[in-house]
Chains A and B, each alone.
Chain A
């Protein structure tokens, strides 16, 4: 009955449905399009969830004990028992330096010859050397070794003579929204951004550019189809695919990592739809400007995927970037999406954050879509 109504009242809707059907057939016929909608989200969830960890475990440390004593052996066994270190004993500093030069260890801990005597006199010192080639790892490694020494001292003091209490500032750290400090909780929203960017912008720009390249667009122009209808028929199928990617990512993040969704689902869907429309808009504009699959692919990668990874705040904090770069991040939609996604997942419906992000995304979507319609005017040339 609805079908009959459509046929009678709106040839436009009928044309859009027909074109969408053609697009769906094309997606289903080429398994690679489905791969990006299904395999990619899962692959990224697994990589981000399991393989990427900023927390160090099993840090290889060379321990140089030049004169063994009760103190050194209790310190070394404390390191051995800790899950954070793998101890490589070395008898001389030269041997340890050799291990570090060959990248076998990330840090060296050296107990000087008169360590026990120095402890008794209260002026013991220890050397921790790290390999600064990878500055980040080095900094974390140094902090971990330092922490282990401090813990060992505190425990050692508890076993024997207690250290006299001294005035000291103690910091109690608390992490809101993520009490267990799980970096997956922070990374998973990023997966959604990347998946949506790839489907919305990269895939769509390629598919559109293909039509331009093969000349099938010109063929379409000879039919009664209007430009808006062509755009709709390209938008709807990839929009649905993007939403499928979203559903998979959210489901996967909940089942695999227990990432909570503290905000409301409808808001997540609304926000993601807006971002997806922006990404689709970018893809459509780029492909109609370049009309070449190769160029469209390169440019989309540059203006959507890279900003989504580097300038969105999903891995690197925007507030720490230089001012000029912080201003640039405002041009790219990913920044608004990431900020709202992290909030929706971990904090809840915080309107102060989400509303402004959504307004910006909605404006971007409107502007890009109208540019896209302008470019798809029936032009042959």
Chain B
């Protein structure tokens, strides 16, 4: 028992040295997560800031100018040109000078004065359906506000109908970054730890040192622990640095408990390292390990709820997400961060992560010995 512990500690030391002794490799393990967190934190948002647009005002009236002023005041839209005829719209949008064209009808003011519906056309560049949809949504809010104000100023009673009050829990202003950055802790560490793990065994196989390891008194589970713990430790350091960037730089509110976060991240890392080891136990060389982990990591990232909600996915894809550790990591970090969830609420996710680790790690250990080529 004690001997086994000695062996594991020795292997752990050797593994950590292999990752950390080279200064270039130290840099590539610890700096990228911080850079990625900063870049993703700013880049990964569907909120719009600068949307170039053009206006074709066919009405030239006080009301149409007031509508354009309302669009300008919103701050998101930046007018790049004021057009005089419809033929000018096409080149503006095709050449990507503008993302939107707002066309105000000739009878805009007259319709409003007559108490009727006045029309505005919004033409959007469909090459980016996301931006187009969001920008059109912003504009319809502006138009609604404009209508309400117009009615008030012109002595119409408040419109009959149901007033809808919308409230958002945990994130009252629905700031994308509050959801995005906590999910990055899992996403970034998974990418690096899984590849790190997969490559580490493959590197030894390619160099022939893995066979040497197998003829030593090490038992498969000892090799497994020796190979699994160092990437987990590296992953925890990475997760901590991302967490610090989130707290100190982006100042994301953290409502939950650090202990619960640490516990669930450890389980998550065990599951990702398990999958990484599983891939590396199948791979003959580093190329296979790299390709294998890319082919696995990519669907994991896409099917995790990071970019699009899981409930939008077709049923088959939703079932696939059950074996994806990142899915649980993102859901758990969100809940800890914003909802202050404790173990009592998170146990289904934690249990799932444990099962993934408990299945992949022993299989990898078994494969080490039984796949000798």
Contact = CB atoms under 8 A, between A and B. Distances in A.
Contact of B312 (A57, A138, A198): A57
A321 interface: yes
A52 B308 contact: yes
B125 A176 contact: yes
B166 A170 contact: no
Nearest to A100: B169
Given A128-B166, A206-B286, A299-B28, A53 B127 contact: no
B162 A149 contact: yes
A174 B165 contact: no
Given A52-B307, A169-B118, A36 B123 contact: no
Interface in B178-234: 178-180, 191-192, 195, 199, 203
A218 to B, nearest CB: 17
A142 B43 contact: no
B78 to A, nearest CB: 9
A321 B42 contact: yes
Interface stretch (A242-250, A268-276, A287-295): A287-295
Contacts of B191: 301
Interface stretch (A27-35, A221-229, A231-239): A27-35
B358 interface: no
Interface residues of A, number: 111
B294 interface: yes
A23 B171 CA distance: 54
B372 interface: no
Q: Closest 9 interchain pairs by CB?
A: A132-B171, A178-B126, A132-B168, A352-B95, A175-B126, A51-B317, A177-B126, A122-B160, A32-B288
A136 B286 contact: no
A138 B32 CA distance: 30
B111 A167 contact: yes
Contacts of B287: 30, 32-33, 203, 206-207, 210, 293
Interface residues of B, number: 117
A51 B314 contact: yes
A347 B94 contact: yes
Nearest to B137: A143
A376 interface: no
Interface stretch (A1-9, A182-190, A358-366): A182-190
Contacts of A103: 331
Contact of A181 (B99, B129, B285, B288): B129
A290 B309 contact: no
Nearest to A53: B312
Contacts of B314: 50-51
A119 B162 contact: yes
A48 B307 CA distance: 11
A217 to B, nearest CB: 16
A210 B199 CA distance: 13
A43 B309 CA distance: 19
Contacts of B136: 171, 173
A194 B312 CA distance: 23
Nearest to A179: B126
Nearest to A323: B50
B93 A176 contact: yes
A167 B154 CA distance: 10
B127 A177 contact: yes
A106 B118 CA distance: 35
B87 to A, nearest CB: 14
B49 A125 contact: no
B86 to A, nearest CB: 12
Given A30-B287, A129-B167, A132-B169, A35 B95 contact: no
